[in-house]
């Protein structure tokens, strides 16, 4: 009877959703819009339509578009993999980088750029985003490098937050300035072999 209906819209017809259920539907819709069209393509009307509701329901929960987008991005970004453990630092690092590069939220770069630009100056959202972007990670990286240190592949001085996150910082810089959603694998290898591993291994002998 409703042939052109998206799942959420159909669901809406089976009674009126309230509270958490509706909130979750909105967030899921926003998340999908974000993944498909990036921040620029996320409009309140479209999210509302996709969730089978209307803008009011959204504005009752989030004060503006940026807040909704950040909330949706959290759900995109927080499903994360456990740190790899191949027994070799280089492989672990490449695996991690490749995970970030072609992760679950594919157009990472565009979304992130869009969000950062759209948020502008709201410090609360900025803080949330920083937490997600700047690290779902120091932890993971410390783990991986920590194991390498235990194996003797790197000196203990390597275990510095600024140092262990260099690889992902360079990767992020790469796709941010190039505007590509995905960086060629050769670039990852270059970052690892020319910068990251020499940095980790070389820190002790030098001083």
Partner DNA sequence: CGAATAAGGTACGAGATGTACCTTATAAAG
Partner DNA sequence: CTTTATAAGGTACATCTCGTACCTTATTCG
The residues binding DNA (CB under 7 A) are 12, 15-19, 22-23, 42-45, 52-57, 59-60, 63-66
- In the list its own copies, DNA, none, the entry touching 5 (Cβ below 5 to 8 angstroms by class) is none
**Binding segment for its own copies among 6-14, 19-27, 94-102, 194-202 (CB under 8 A)?**
194-202
Kindly report the backbone phi and psi dihedral angles of residue 127, in degrees, each rounded to the nearest multiple of 5, phi listed first. -65, -45
Element housing 131 (H / E): helix 123-134
Among 162, 53, 175, 168, residue whose Cα is nearest residue 113: 175
Q: How many residues bind its own copies (CB under 8 A)?
A: 42
Phi, psi dihedral angles at 25 (to 5 degrees):
-65, -40
CA distance 4 to 11: 13
How far, in Å, CA of 205 to CA of 154, rounded? 11
Q: Choose which of 22, 30, 39, 53 interacts with its own copies (CB under 8 A).
A: 39
Tell me the closest approach of the beta carbon of residue 118 to DNA, in angstroms: 9
Question: Is residue 186 a contact residue for its own copies (CB under 8 A)?
Answer: no
Q: Are 32 and 1 in contact (CB under 8 A)?
A: no
Count of residues making up the chain: 207
Contact letters for its own copies, residues 76-95 (x by CB under 8 A): --------------------
Which residues are near its own copies by CB under 8 A?
38-40, 110, 113-114, 116-121, 126, 129-130, 133-134, 160, 162-163, 166, 169-170, 172-174, 176-179, 190-191, 194-195, 198-199, 201-203, 205-207
């Amino acid at each position: 009877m409703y042939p052109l209906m998206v799942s959420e819209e159909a669901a809406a017809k089976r009674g009126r959703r309230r509270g958490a259920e509706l909130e979750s539907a909105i967030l899921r819709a926003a998340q999908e819009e974000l993944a498909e069209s990036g921040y620029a393509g996320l409009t309140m009307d479209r999210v509302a339509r996709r969730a089978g509701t209307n803008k009011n329901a959204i504005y009752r929960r989030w004060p503006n578009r940026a807040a909704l987008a950040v909330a949706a991005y959290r759900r995109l970004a927080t499903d994360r993999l456990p740190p790899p453990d191949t027994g070799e630092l280089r492989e672990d690092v490449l695996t991690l980088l490749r995970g970030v590069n072609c992760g679950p939220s594919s157009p990472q770069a565009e979304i992130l750029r869009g969000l950062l630009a759209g948020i502008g100056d709201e410090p609360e959202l900025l803080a949330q985003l920083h937490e997600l972007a700047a690290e779902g990670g120091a932890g993971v990286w410390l783990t991986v490098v920590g194991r390498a240190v235990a194996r003797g592949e790197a000196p203990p001085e390597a275990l510095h937050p600024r140092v262990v996150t260099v690889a992902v910082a360079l990767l992020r810089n790469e796709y941010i300035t190039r505007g590509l959603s995905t960086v060629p694998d050769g670039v990852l290898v270059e970052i690892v072999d020319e910068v990251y591993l020499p940095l980790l291994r070389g820190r002790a002998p030098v001083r």
